[in-house]
Structure 1
Amino acid sequence: MPHCSSAQITRRRNAFWGLWGGLGSLSLQQDSRAADGSHGRQHTPRSQTSRRSAGAAQPGLLPLAALGLLLAAAIGATDAQRVRAEGAAAPPGHGGAAAVARLGEPLNPSTPEQSALAAQLSRQGAEFYGAWWCPACFQQKNLFGKEGSRLLPYVECDKTEADRERCTAAKIQAYPTWVLKGQRLVGVQRLDELKRWADEVGGSPAPASTSGAPKAMGASTMGPGRMGN
């Protein structure tokens, strides 16, 4: 099943701190060169020297700062392109591109069956673990539609330290991960699969809808997740 590995967030953090460390190192080098250049010349008041050193460091910092912005923009653009591609490739009934026009928030209205399944999973105590940056998690939410996605028992795993600690304690290794009474499903699940799982593991299926059981949704066409949105 398509999923986003929790290792992706580690790669994202390492890239960020590596860039930050590079900025600090360059700043120290610039200050050192400015100090060396002052030897043998007439003494300059410390306040003026500090201003000149800061000014000398700025030209070197600007390229790295620009590189950081470009890196962040590229990561965001890649995520958006993947999610849009998934929506465009979705079979009829998935909501298509309109459902993923905005990351993480479906725009297509939910059917009664989609909302009923989301409510059933929540009522039975299921948990849907995911991360804000994970395209597979967005795709899973999109299968429930706008109203249904709001009823999901969603657990965010990477916005705060408390989120990360909770998901680490639950031994979550990939997103999305569904947990119900000790049983797990990893990766994007079709609605018919979730319905059958909820009925078998949960033991108390939702009341039958007049429109019948949820229609089967085709399996996701997205490849394995990208990080370490």
Structure 2
Amino acid sequence: MTRAPVLDKTGGTKDAHLVETLISSEQILKGNFLEVLRDTVSLPDGRHTSREYVIHPGAVMIVALLDDGRVVLERQYRYPMHAVMIEFPAGKLDTGEASLACAQRELLEETGYTAREWARAGVLHPVISYSTEFIDVWFARGLTLGERKLDAGEFLDVFTATPAELLGWCGSGQVTDAKTLTGMLWLQNVLAGTWALDWQLAVL
């Protein structure tokens, strides 16, 4: 049986024939929360090349479950795509912010919901070829609706749908957001009992 490669703390592997080694790094852009670097690296065969990538602070996504089985979704205009996208609630981590605290904050700010219980499902890396971005996937249940607290300049619609409706939109191409597609995969497996969640009471 072939064993999966073992990851080290930097995300590299012990498969030396695949690893690229940093030689030098140059900052190309420093934005409000994104940074772009151009690194020179040594390839496994000894040749040198450059890698340009985005440094991202990380984010969370919330699969929020209503008591009747529906999920909480958003419609938001995403400027790079010049389109309104259907998404699970999500948001970036503030400096020094814990993942669960961020998930609770973003769910309340964007949708008005608070949750009685939370479970961390895992992590996804949406654009591994050019960004360090990671998204922690959280599930929330026992929802109570209150007042949204949108940031200045933030505009989005909140709505609900059944898992079957969301799955249909994923299959038809109406949903193309990578994190939401991944969230649907997680939701399918959780509802089927294939993937278990470790629920914990919210700490406010």
Give the TM-score taking structure 1 as reference length: 0.23
TM-score (normalised: structure 2): 0.25
Higher relative contact order (CA 8 A, sep 6+): 1
Higher Cα radius of gyration: 1
Q: Which has the higher helix share?
A: 1
